Structure 1
Amino acid sequence: MSLRTAGSVLVVFLWSVAVVLGQKGWSVTYTTQRICALKGSTVELTCSYTYPSGTVTTTLWFTNWGSGVEPEDLGQDPEYTGRLEYHGDKKKDSILRITDLRESDSATYKFRLLTDQTEGKYYGDPGVTLSVTALQVKLTYSSWQNLVTITCITTCTLSNPKPTYIWYKNGQHQHESTSPQYKYSVYSNSKDSYSCAVKGHEDLHSPAVCVQGQSCNTVTYTKRTICALKGSTVYISCTYDSGYDTVKSSLWFSPKQRSRWSDKLTPEDLTRDPGYAGRVEYPDKERWRYTGHSTLRISNLREEDSAEYRFTYKTYYFEWGHSFPGTTLSVTGLQVKVTPAAEGQKTLTCITTCTLTDNPTYIWYKNGQNVQGVSSPMYSISSENADSYFCAVKGHLSSAAVCEYSTIVQYST
């Protein structure tokens, strides 16, 4: 469970719509009724509300509501684990924050509140309809003019009222425009590839598309974001295609290290960077291939390793551009957070500063002994309990401890 998540954030405020269902004194006002957001970004759905009397006991957001039962709180839905946060004052407003958006998150979200009064339950219609879209490149050829029109397309109209589109040619920043279309001359033997992105969300670019044939200059990263534990080992990988030209050299680099480069415009191999000495290697480096797979391995991770990592290659005639976004790595430790729960109970939460990749299994220890049957980042205990508790992630040594609910200790072995 994370406190924050690195990546693109999309916060939209368009218009307000008050919704009253006829119950005197109750209302829900959604800041906007429709949002179109990019896959992988972060969105905030907001509302304000009023109620006639009493104290608010529960607030939640939901998408499904079966007849005869209370709606399912999205905060308890495993599909949103580590990606959903509730914010607000629990008196007049609420914010639902969803990170790392997926296309399956497309739905209508509604807010519900409960008070301590009889019949003190209410929800607001019509809710907020969220549509999640990825970017795609569409090519349209005009043979008689020898031109190709490249269009950056989405399945819904982005909520940003006037997005700026960025075009990458062979991994190099090429053009920016408020128009989603770009035209240029194309040759029959072209090995060029194009990708588009929206400014401010460059890490969410479209897949690169060949303008001629099925083989051209491309680099495709296996993951665009990775969250890993301090002290662990991470593998960052990509596939590449040189359009049938022989690859003579390749390397991984980080733009964050630019100040250390001899030539600020020429990336330097991470294996030669003293900050990564003895911790970086390419376990499957391939040479003299038209297409291939490359992996960057970083061991004994440090928090200062949090950065973007990019791959580049050279042929005898071509070099892949250095401005194409790569994979962003965030390195985190573990902490234990203690919060009041039901009467006589407290909740321990094993928290990180980013959402750990690959849905890890959590391990809890009570007074140094493994607690059986608990594998989630949250663990309920008695308020009267004065024992010490540790949390860890299965397969890793990094852990955190809390003693008597007063001190949070973070360490790794």
Structure 2
Amino acid sequence: YCKRLLNDILSVLIPFHLGLQVKVTPATVTEGQKVTLSCSTTCTLSDNPNPTYIWYKNGHVTTQSNSLFLNPVSSEDAGRYSCAVEGHEDLPSAEETLTVRYGPKSTSVSVSPSGEIVEGSSVTLTCSSDANPPVDKYTWYKKNVTSPKASGQSYSITNIISEDRGEYYCEAQNGRGSRNSTALMIIVAGKQTSVLTTAVGIIVVVLVLILVSLDSCGSGDPQEEVMPQQTHSVHPDPNSDTYTALNMKTRSPEYDTLAGLPHCHSLSDRC
């Protein structure tokens, strides 16, 4: 009795746990092709001869059916798949991986640092793309320029000048294809003087002008003091050796003769 009971228990538990199997055909596929996933058991379920299978993708329920048909398969279908018998969801099968290979997609360009780009500064453009296998070649282009600008996932422009303005884009490639990003416009602004620098410059100029003015006032020829003219009365000093009193009578006898002559008041007077 004990042996029969143990066999009954094992016949119920073991098939559900070990008998379920997921088969992915093919396991690796290129996007656009078709894939079939089937779930089967090696045991006969006495209580449910035609079971309904529940499918899981990455641990989440997706659908209920014996098989999954993915046609055409996309990159979003890649993942880990398992199945379980309805009513026994706690005993799922082992997971099988579906690998989908695809060319680059969602290719985009980002710029660092962000914000205004000023002449003399540097910027770095980075290309990003989703692909399987991963992108193995990045090429950089500038619109209206025939030859490539650079290669590699990042492209740096140092000491940028006005001629660097324009639209830039990248091309991502792998063994499954290639994809261009949308163009990113680079606008180069002229060098700008900060408000603080301008204010400091104005203050320095004002101070220099003040110092020059003060220096001119201090080093210029001093104005001669204008002394008020004083009116001096000159009185002869008879005692001085350098002064001789003028006495016409003592100097010449003709003075008396001249003094005695009549005075003419006009040209009509006859003297």
When normalised by structure 1's length, the TM-score is 0.26
Quick check: which one's strand share is greater?
1
Structure number with larger C-alpha Rg: 2
Q: Relative to total residues, which structure has the larger helix share, 1 or 2?
A: 2
